[in-house]
Amino acid sequence: MACGHTVLMRLVASAYAVAQKAGMIVRRVIAEGDLGIVEKTCATDLQTKADRLVQMSICSSLARKFPKLTIIGEEDLPPEEVDQELIEDGQWEEILKQPCPSQYSAIKEEDLVVWVDPLDGTKEYTEGLLDNVTVLIGIAYEGKAIAGVINQPYYNYQAGPDAVLGRTIWGVLGLGAFGFQLKEVPAGKHIITTTRSHSNQLVMDCVTAMNPDDVLRVGGAGNKIIQLIEGKASAYVFASPGCKKWDTCAPEVILHAVGEFIGPYYIWKEEALRNNWKHNDPISH
């Protein structure tokens, strides 16, 4: 590991490699045929074998390389020995070629908090809506989301049996967002993306009040943000409690990193815009 690289860029490069491995785990669990589904709080709040394995992989891999890091995962998992095959020690060298924004160059490992959603869109995953699924790794510093990685395990899965599956999007504030082609919604179109599984009257009223040309009801916060940056939707509306920091940390970074260059063109729930990204929860490894 080159000593000249900053802590932040080394962490993002490692998170990229870890996210790639996470995508492989997500696909492997489906291929093996046993999703290991359990209900956490209700029929729409599910956990699968992939959620559990991916969280163990991400948290354990990053903790081994960055022992002073605070890592918080969505799933409440009991402490256990992690199988070596879940550990990813690599890093994405292309990220290390990028300059670290000067405001983050002196950040210490112990000052960073990582928020992990191992399988965003779990319900859709169990229903075979695979394009809704993402893996989210967000990095926060001094109360602000500053870097993030989003893996889409099933990107390109509808392109046929020989298609290469998966892609990873990443971004750092002050540097930009990478791994996708930025597009805008067709001229004159106002398209809203919103929740598929957690709607209520307030959400429906807000969407209706915006008089959209079309409404896309899909799963996963990460998936909805990708719809924004790739021009499939012009706004993401979810006027309701429910999103947590592991849902919003990585996507918020990608949106703001894009917005630094083309200006904000999205609507995000008020809670997320005001979110306090400081560590206030137990560490989950």
- Give the CATH number of the domain where residue 45 resides: 3.30.540.10
Q: Are 249 and 277 in contact (CB under 8 A)?
A: yes
Least confident of 118-122, 217-221, 239-243: 239-243
Domain span at residue 30? 7-178
The amino acid at residue 241 is P
In a domain, 107, yes or no: yes
Helix (H) or strand (E) holding 46: strand 45-47
Please state, in angstroms and as integers, the Cα–Cα distance from residue 172 to each residue in 59, 86, 176, 247, 260, following that order: 20, 26, 6, 17, 11
Checking if the pLDDT of 50 tops 90, the result is yes
Specify whether 201 is located in the same domain as 157.
no
Residues labelled catalytic: 51, 122
Residues 160 and 197 in one domain: no
Strand, coil or helix: what is 149? strand
The model's pTM = 0.86
Domain boundary among 124, 155, 178: 178
Look at residue 133 in the predicted model and tell me its pLDDT.
96
Asked, for residue 91, whether it belongs to a domain, the answer is yes
Clarify whether residues 140 and 27 are in a common domain: yes
160 and 207 both lie in a single domain = no
Does 119 appear as a known binding residue? yes
Question: What pLDDT does residue 215 have?
Answer: 76
pLDDT score of 277: 43
pLDDT digits (tens, 9 = 90+) for 84-112: 999 999 999 999 999 999 999 999 999 99
User: Which of the two residues, 245 and 208, has the higher pLDDT score?
Assistant: 245
CA dist 154 → 24, 85, 103 (Å):
10, 21, 35
CATH number of the domain at 253, please. 3.40.190.80
Domain count, the chain: 2
Residue 219: closest CA among 150, 126, 138: 126
Strand order in the sheet with 70-73: 70-73, 112-120, 134-141, 144-152, 167-172, 176-178
User: 263 and 214, same structural domain?
Assistant: yes
- Flag whether 214 is marked binding: no
Task: From 117, 149, 178, give the residue that closes a domain.
Answer: 178
Average pLDDT of every residue of the chain? 84
- Is 34 known to sit in a ligand binding site? no
Asked whether residue 1 is assigned to any structural domain, the reply reads: no
Co-location of 17 and 141 in the same domain: yes
- Domain check: are 139 and 261 in the same one? no
pLDDT of residue 187: 84
Give the span between the Cα atoms of 63 and 234, in whole angstroms. Answer: 37
